Structure 1
Amino acid sequence: MPTPHTTESPSVDRRTFLAGLSGAVAGGAVASQFQTTARAQATASPAANAIAYIVDGMGQTQISAARYLNAYKTAPERFPLNVSPAETPTGFDAFSSRGSMTTFPDDPYETTTDSAAAATAFASGVKTYNGAIGGVRTSGGGFQRVGTVLERASAQGYATGLITTTEATHATPAAFAAHVEDRGNQTEIARQYIEDTQPDVILGGQRRDFEADASNGGTLVDAARDNGYTIAETAAELDAVDDPPVLGLFSQESHLDYYLDRKNDPENTQPSLDAMVDAGVDLLSSAGDPDKGFFLLVESGRVDHAGHANYPAQVAEQYEATQVAGQLVEYAETTAEPTFLVSTGDHECGGLTLGRDSPYEVEYDVLAAQKATTSRLRDLLAGVRSADELESIVAAHTGITALTDREVAKLRDAPGSISTILAERAGIAFTTDGHTGTDVPVFAHGPNAARFDAARDNTAVADALAAALGVSL
């Protein structure tokens, strides 16, 4: 077991640490319960497939916001009385088990996690410092790699895949298939994907990282082709791929566009998250050892980015993520092979609130009418001075048909202020432009899902995935 990130305490086993923490908080009975759960997990019945679905930045409020938006879009004449899960269920309601999850890192300076530390916990079952990908800080100040469930699964003949709406080398997917001291070293992460880990499916953004030099000459894209990868750069090209492996890079720089911009911009050629998931499970089902199944990491990553930016479109981003949650449960229930599915957020982001002072009203019609994010609207509004033209652009992309003089003045000076205008009109607010340290919901479905009918730590995700596939971390 790697040494935890500390320069003062001796190395301790992670499960021993968690049991001790539980005992300190609630006595020996709680510690005993955690130890019993760990033993039960070690003997869990394996599944054929395991899927981890991480919604970066998702907390309970984001889930609630998407629930309300879904109910409004489904039957506005019944809203809000149709918000009940019994009348208008969402994708997360389809999971058979649900609980809560702690997210803290092993960091001497920060108690709120970043995506790198959280994803390392999900992938390897160890706590680490913020910024670390697939490793821990040793007592001597060095960096020690830790094995991941994706690597262990691949070694046992399982097909493996990474799907994300962020950069393909961003923190969450990277922690499952790479090892670097600093999450910012994304060209090295790309190199490790192509030259070392070689997942059968890699779908995400930022082709630039893969245009770096490969170890044996040429670029990493060239090396991927030499290794048999089909390269896809558009939704149509991905749809045409018949066999793995595939490297799908759907932006030259940065992440895939936000959900609303991908959906409503007629010139956008990027695939939707649900299309990437469909392609991923189809391709992985035909890859690897025929006697084995697959491991797949799926990330809806831009809920987090919308939270950082305080974009009201975070609600729409979560709406897409919630739809995909239902898609994954449907796959797990209809495929012939037993499939374990676990979904959670690595942390909440933005401190979203549903309600803004008083009256206690959120205008979901405003959120439902939005067709573009601030990211796109800012570009469309830049340099526009005419009040009529400003109103025309805003109306076309948000449904707001009458701007106040104050709103027009704000948009002339700062087009990005459309975020504030939309939030005020909708009656929502954000409390921070960073992560928050709240517990996050966790959902599970399939074999042994009931282990998540309780409060768990984020390292339990790695335990569950490894147990499902019958591999050891």
Structure 2
Amino acid sequence: MKKSVLALSVSALLLTACNDNSPNVVEVVKEVEVIKEVPVTPTPVTSVKNVILMIGDGMGPQQVGLLEDYARRAPNSTYNGKGNLTALSKLADNGHLGLALNQPYGATSGKLVVDSACSATQLATGKASGSEMIGLDEQGFIVETILEKAKKAGKATGLVSDTRITHATPAAFAAHQAHRSLEGAIAVELVTSGSVDVLLSGGAREFVPADIKTNTAAQQAIEALGAAPSVYKKSKRKDSRNLLVEAKEQHGYSLAFDKTQLANSDATKLLGLFANSGMADAIAYKACSANNSCTEPSLKEMTVKALDILAKDPDGFFLMVEGGQIDWAGHANDAGWMLNELLKFDEAVEAVYQWVKDRNDTLVVVTADHETGSFGFSYSRKDLQEGKDLPGDGMHGAQYKPNFNFGNLSNLDMLYKQTGTFFNMMDAANANWDFASATASDWMNAINKYSEYKVNIDQAAKVGEREVNDYYAPDHSYQSATMVPKFEDFKEFYVYADEDHTGKIARALAADQNVVWGTGTHTAAPVPVYAFGPEGVTKAFSTMQHHTDLANKMMVALGVAE
């Protein structure tokens, strides 16, 4: 019984008690005392109109730990004055937290470690898939994704990424290809399928004709759409199709190519391509934000625009947002870059949290496709701590003197202040990536230009060491390299040829950073799952599950399950 109803009942009884033939007031009150409140239990909300899935590519528990340590404990944390709470923490505090396994889960395609294509496919379809497949089950059959089901149900749909829109994670929600490398075919599907209303990312090189460098007519047609030459400077297509023109003239998309065009667009069907390949990294974004010179929109800005557009649909929407360069930094074993990417992703999560926190019609799920790099802080025997006196009565005259270097919190600030990625350092060591010609001095100057941690000439010389590729394969996209960086440990897990000089830089800086890396690829670590929204929906995510389970739970919540 509600309190207001109880009060009225008591008042009525007391008034009645004033009549001569009524029992005395004390007796009435005694009777009232036995009346119990019966709480009104609201009907739990078990379905939602909107689902927002946010994927921190490569963001395992270790990466979340780095973000939270920085936010809560870095002496100069950018979260100071904001309660030192990340947006991820807000979701955890006000929603549910779980874990997800992510390996290829098929009976015939089962493996120990997943790539982004298979992982995203399993997240998108709820079905087991095979390594490097896009939108296919483990037998190679096309499977309808949650995005496609949402569109069929009359909902608006969107994909946002700071990598390329044809990259593995966004592609898996709206394309169906035998291999993730078929980005040209993926671009065609994204534009022509009619499944996606909002596409915001990089990757224009997959949408312009193969001869774009010399095709003046195509250049003029693209410029007429509003694109600058930097966006279409290079093509990865193998045909003459101009998908930008097709998107506008045949499929009804409005186009945007920079931050201003995106902000000014009032379209309900929008293709935004803001870079020729991947979008600006988080360190570059931090720098241009400081002086208000960014020409590309941020992940947050793309996310907010997508929400503005999709929320206009009265039937609801499905939106996937990827912070994809957390993974790229992990592959590079670049802790400073990775921290900045985590901050950029959390900024987008904060925008979503603010949009959804007072609603009860939206489910937000934040997770990762896998962990990248086997990253971790670790204690070492370098720079052992000096003993010091403590005032506590339990010390009994002994000094506080741990046996090992457990890492100073100042490392968090130093990682944040890195001014370029390890790839920037490689560019500085040799602009043509002719690393056989790069000297120890070249490497030392390049690293010290961008890093708060400095290397000496001997450390730099080891960064440049190379060896014959023991795993040479002439037709392989990476193992066709005859010479590769020389690793003293785990060399089989550095698979990207020259790009893996980043892992050598990481080893040169590792002892000073208190950072270790185990691989240049992925690990099989379970990844965090944050679920925010109506309790009747989110509590199902607070468990150990697989990515296929996450997909099916989201489909049930959105009302599009089979």
Q: If the TM-score is normalised by the length of the shorter chain, which range does it land in?
A: 0.7 to 0.9
In structure 2, what residue type is equivalent to 1:189? Answer: I
Compute the displacement of 1:340 (Å): 0.4
Residue aligned with 2:296, SS:
coil
The structure having more radius of gyration, on CA atoms, is 2
| Contact 1:259-1:320 at 8 Å conserved across structures | yes
| Contact 1:57-1:303 at 8 Å conserved across structures | yes
Compute the displacement of 1:390 (Å): 6.2
Q: Do structure 1's residue 298 and structure 2's residue 299 form an aligned pair?
A: no
For residues 175 and 389 of structure 1, what CA distance do their matches in structure 2 show? Answer: 38
After superposition, the Cα gap between the structure-2 partners of 1:337 and 1:239, relative to the gap in structure 1 and judged at 3 Å, is: farther
After superposition, the Cα gap between the structure-2 partners of 1:250 and 1:419, relative to the gap in structure 1 and judged at 3 Å, is: farther
In structure 1, what residue type is equivalent to 2:559? Answer: G
Question: 1:45-84 residue pairs with structure 2 within 5 A?
Answer: 45-73=46-74, 75=76
After superposition, the Cα gap between the structure-2 partners of 1:206 and 1:104, relative to the gap in structure 1 and judged at 3 Å, is: same
Compute the displacement of 1:197 (Å): 3.4
After superposition, the Cα gap between the structure-2 partners of 1:306 and 1:75, relative to the gap in structure 1 and judged at 3 Å, is: closer
| Contact 2:115-2:522 at 8 Å conserved across structures | yes
Partner residue in 2 for 1:270: 296
Q: Give the gaps of 5 or more residues in structure 1.
A: 1-42
Q: Do structure 1's residue 373 and structure 2's residue 426 form an aligned pair?
A: no
Partner residue in 1 for 2:33: none
**2:371 aligns with one of 343, 348, 372:** 348
For residues 432 and 388 of structure 1, what CA distance do their matches in structure 2 show? Answer: 25
**2:281 aligns with one of 258, 278, 284:** 258
Partner residue in 2 for 1:88: 84
For residues 460 and 429 of structure 1, what CA distance do their matches in structure 2 show? Answer: 32
**2:207 aligns with one of 196, 204, 210:** 210
**2:456 aligns with one of 404, 408, 417:** 404
Q: Report the RMSD for the aligned CA atoms in angstroms.
A: 3.1
After superposition, the Cα gap between the structure-2 partners of 1:438 and 1:388, relative to the gap in structure 1 and judged at 3 Å, is: closer
Residue aligned with 1:270, SS:
coil
Q: Do structure 1's residue 432 and structure 2's residue 519 form an aligned pair?
A: yes
Partner residue in 2 for 1:190: 187
Compute the displacement of 1:74 (Å): 6.6
Compute the displacement of 1:269 (Å): 2.5
Deviations 1:182-227 (A, max 9, x none): 111111111111111341110111111112599xx95211111122
In structure 2, what residue type is equivalent to 1:324? Answer: A
Q: Do structure 1's residue 167 and structure 2's residue 193 form an aligned pair?
A: no
| Contact 1:58-1:304 at 8 Å conserved across structures | yes
Compute the displacement of 1:418 (Å): 4.3
Compute the displacement of 1:263 (Å): 2.5
| Contact 1:261-1:376 at 8 Å conserved across structures | no
In structure 1, what residue type is equivalent to 2:310? Answer: L
Partner residue in 1 for 2:333: 310
In structure 1, what residue type is equivalent to 2:279? Answer: L
| Contact 2:420-2:451 at 8 Å conserved across structures | yes
For residues 242 and 423 of structure 1, what CA distance do their matches in structure 2 show? Answer: 48
In structure 2, what residue type is equivalent to 1:89? Answer: L
Equivalent pairs counted in the alignment come to 414
| Contact 1:47-1:338 at 8 Å conserved across structures | yes
Residue aligned with 1:211, SS:
coil
Partner residue in 2 for 1:28: none
Residue aligned with 1:88, SS:
coil
Farther-moved stretch of structure 1 (462-471 vs 57-66): 462-471
Residue aligned with 2:98, SS:
strand
Compute the displacement of 1:395 (Å): 5.9
For residues 154 and 78 of structure 1, what CA distance do their matches in structure 2 show? Answer: 38
How high is the sequence identity, in percent, across the aligned residues? 29
Question: 1:384-423 residue pairs with structure 2 within 5 A?
Answer: 397-400=450-453, 403-407=455-459, 409=461, 418-423=505-510
Compute the displacement of 1:268 (Å): 5.5
Deviations 1:371-424 (A, max 9, x none): 221122322343798979966x75663334x65343455678898554444433
Compute the displacement of 1:326 (Å): 2.7
For residues 172 and 78 of structure 2, what CA distance do their matches in structure 1 show? Answer: 45
In structure 1, what residue type is equivalent to 2:426? Answer: R
For residues 412 and 184 of structure 1, what CA distance do their matches in structure 2 show? Answer: 29
| Contact 1:69-1:319 at 8 Å conserved across structures | no
For residues 158 and 195 of structure 1, what CA distance do their matches in structure 2 show? Answer: 18
Partner residue in 2 for 1:36: none
Give the TM-score taking structure 1 as reference length: 0.79
Compute the displacement of 1:428 (Å): 0.6
Farther-moved stretch of structure 1 (103-112 vs 377-386): 377-386
Question: 1:103-122 residue pairs with structure 2 within 5 A?
Answer: 103-105=102-104, 106=106, 108=109, 110-122=111-123
Question: 1:351-362 residue pairs with structure 2 within 5 A?
Answer: 351-358=374-381, 359-362=405-408
Deviations 1:254-301 (A, max 9, x none): x21321123225775322111111111111122x4x3x1111000111
Farther-moved stretch of structure 1 (379-388 vs 124-133): 379-388
For residues 264 and 194 of structure 2, what CA distance do their matches in structure 1 show? Answer: 25
Compute the displacement of 1:62 (Å): 0.3
Q: Do structure 1's residue 446 and structure 2's residue 447 form an aligned pair?
A: no
Q: Do structure 1's residue 464 and structure 2's residue 517 form an aligned pair?
A: no
After superposition, the Cα gap between the structure-2 partners of 1:144 and 1:236, relative to the gap in structure 1 and judged at 3 Å, is: same
| Contact 1:356-1:429 at 8 Å conserved across structures | no
Partner residue in 1 for 2:273: 249
After superposition, the Cα gap between the structure-2 partners of 1:315 and 1:346, relative to the gap in structure 1 and judged at 3 Å, is: same
Higher relative contact order (CA 8 A, sep 6+): 1
Partner residue in 1 for 2:97: 98
After superposition, the Cα gap between the structure-2 partners of 1:398 and 1:193, relative to the gap in structure 1 and judged at 3 Å, is: same
Compute the displacement of 1:356 (Å): 4.8
